[in-house]
Amino acid sequence: MNRRYRVMLVPEDGGEIRSFHVRRSWIRWVVVGLCCCMLSLFSGAWMFSLHQKSRSQVAALERENRGLLDHVAEVAQRLDQIATKVAQSEEKEREARLLAGLDPIDQESRRLGVGGPLLVDPIADEMHTPGLAFEVEDQTRRLDELERRVAFQRRSFKEAIALLTTRRDKLDRTPTISPLKDLHALSSGYGWREDPFTGEEAFHYGIDMRAPEGTPVYASAAGTVVAVEAKRDYGLTVVVDHGDGVETRYAHLSASDLEPGASVSRGDVIGEVGNSGRSTGPHVHYEVRIDGVAQNPTHYIVTPPSAPAGE
């Protein structure tokens, strides 16, 4: 049943009262219409708010994207600089290997040495900007390759340094300087000579160098003192063991403060020139022996030692 309702409009000023009838179905449609209008207004306001928020987020993401692009470009430039330094370091590595007597590593072996699967940054897979994703992935690959090149160089440097250290130690223990700091007169050389006491031909196992009594005598290489003793013919003698069967002897000394077991370095004072033992005047008798066999000391003297500070 479609009921009807009377609606009366009564003016406050006492004017004519107006009335009209409204069907119930009309009221229902008016209410529905009002609800739809309100729903549309709320929906529009909500959509507008979402749109504004999306625009704000997009703007923020665009700013972040530009900043990220600038950062990626800066990282690429720094990677170029690091790659240049790594290449320069590889040249130094080659020089170090040559100094150590090692063969330089050819490019093919070097590529194999630094080979392996290149890393891929998972972050790049989540990026929606193709160019940016490519740059990040490329930089990840380059960084991984540089890290392996540096690790390869480190191993190569260690090999060269270990060999250089061994050779330096051996060089330090090789007699290379004169036992006297100045080029003093050589009074007697190595080899056969006329014995100054007997006048007969005899073999001289070292060289004699004249110098005033008390002149410092220097160790010709690093080693360990194995004897400080007075001998009938040699007089006061200091014997230094340099390892690998190499031994040096300093005879006719007037004094020495060393004791057996003491370590000496090249250029250390081991005693003073004297006239002890079977000698015709102040001088130092210097011998170099390898596995007990006397060698010509002049073949080992590269340069006289420098005078110690203060002398």
Look at 134 and 89; give whichever has higher pLDDT.
89
The two tokens of residue 256 are 């020495």
Dist. CA 4–CA 26, nearest whole Å? 9
Q: Which residues pair with 230 in a beta bridge?
A: 236
Residues 86 and 58 in one domain: no
3-class DSSP state for residue 17?
A: coil
pLDDT more than 90, % of the chain: 28
Residues 48 and 90 in one domain: no
Choose among 269, 263, 25: nearest CA to 250: 269
pLDDT at position 214 over 50: yes
Helices 24-99 & 130-172 angle (0-180, nearest 10): 20
User: What is the band of 307 on the pLDDT scale with cuts at 50, 70, 90?
Assistant: very low
Residues 60 and 99 in one domain: no
Looking at 118, 137, 172, which one is the last position of a domain?
172
Helical residues (DSSP H) of 100-237, grouped into ranges = 107-113, 122-125, 130-172
Looking at 120, 141, 172, which one is the last position of a domain?
172
Give the model's pLDDT for residue 264: 97
Choose among 296, 222, 306, 215: nearest CA to 253: 215
pLDDT more than 70, % of the chain: 77
Amino acid at residue number 196: P
List the single range of 98-107, 230-239, 292-301 with lowest mean pLDDT. 98-107
Looking at 117, 139, 172, which one is the last position of a domain?
172
Count: domains in the chain = 3
Mean pLDDT of 265-292: 93
Residues 219 and 291 in one domain: yes
Residues 82 and 156 in one domain: yes
Q: What is the mean pLDDT of the chain?
A: 80
Dist. CA 164–CA 154, nearest whole Å? 15
Look at 164 and 255; give whichever has higher pLDDT.
255
State pLDDT tens for residues 2-18.
666 666 667 777 677 77
Give the Cβ contact number of residue 271 at 10 Å.
25
User: Do you know the residue count of the chain?
Assistant: 311
Give the model's pLDDT for residue 113: 54
Mean pLDDT of 73-86: 85
Q: Does residue 225 contact residue 260 with C-beta atoms inside 8 Å?
A: yes
What DSSP character marks residue 212?
-
Q: Does residue 276 contact residue 257 with C-beta atoms inside 8 Å?
A: no
Mean pLDDT of 123-135: 59
Residue 306 lies in a domain: no
Give the model's pLDDT for residue 243: 93
The two tokens of residue 258 are 């060393």
Residue 298: alpha-carbon gap to chain centroid: 41
Range of the domain at 24: 4-65
List the single range of 12-21, 78-87, 158-167, 239-248 with lowest mean pLDDT. 12-21
Residues 41 and 97 in one domain: no
Sequential DSSP letters for 101-117 = TPPPPPHHHHHHHT-SP
Give the model's pLDDT for residue 288: 96
Choose among 268, 238, 271: nearest CA to 257: 271
Give the model's pLDDT for residue 304: 54
Residue 179 lies in a domain: no
Residues 56 and 74 in one domain: no
Residue 281 lies in a domain: yes
Give the model's pLDDT for residue 34: 79
Residue 254 lies in a domain: yes
Dist. CA 280–CA 8, nearest whole Å? 157
Residue 165 lies in a domain: yes
Residue 257 lies in a domain: yes
State pLDDT tens for residues 103-118.
887 777 666 555 555 5
Residues 161 and 107 in one domain: yes
Phi, psi of 72 (to 5 degrees): -60, -40
pLDDT at position 257 over 70: yes
Look at 15 and 265; give whichever has higher pLDDT.
265
Residue 61 lies in a domain: yes
Q: Does residue 30 contact residue 24 with C-beta atoms inside 8 Å?
A: no
User: What is the band of 184 on the pLDDT scale with cuts at 50, 70, 90?
Assistant: low
Give the model's pLDDT for residue 249: 97
pLDDT at position 285 over 90: yes
User: What is the band of 221 on the pLDDT scale with cuts at 50, 70, 90?
Assistant: very high
Q: Does residue 243 contact residue 214 with C-beta atoms inside 8 Å?
A: no
Give the Cβ contact number of residue 256 at 10 Å.
19
What DSSP character marks residue 172?
H
Choose among 180, 245, 255: nearest CA to 219: 180
User: What is the band of 308 on the pLDDT scale with cuts at 50, 70, 90?
Assistant: very low
Residue 304 lies in a domain: no
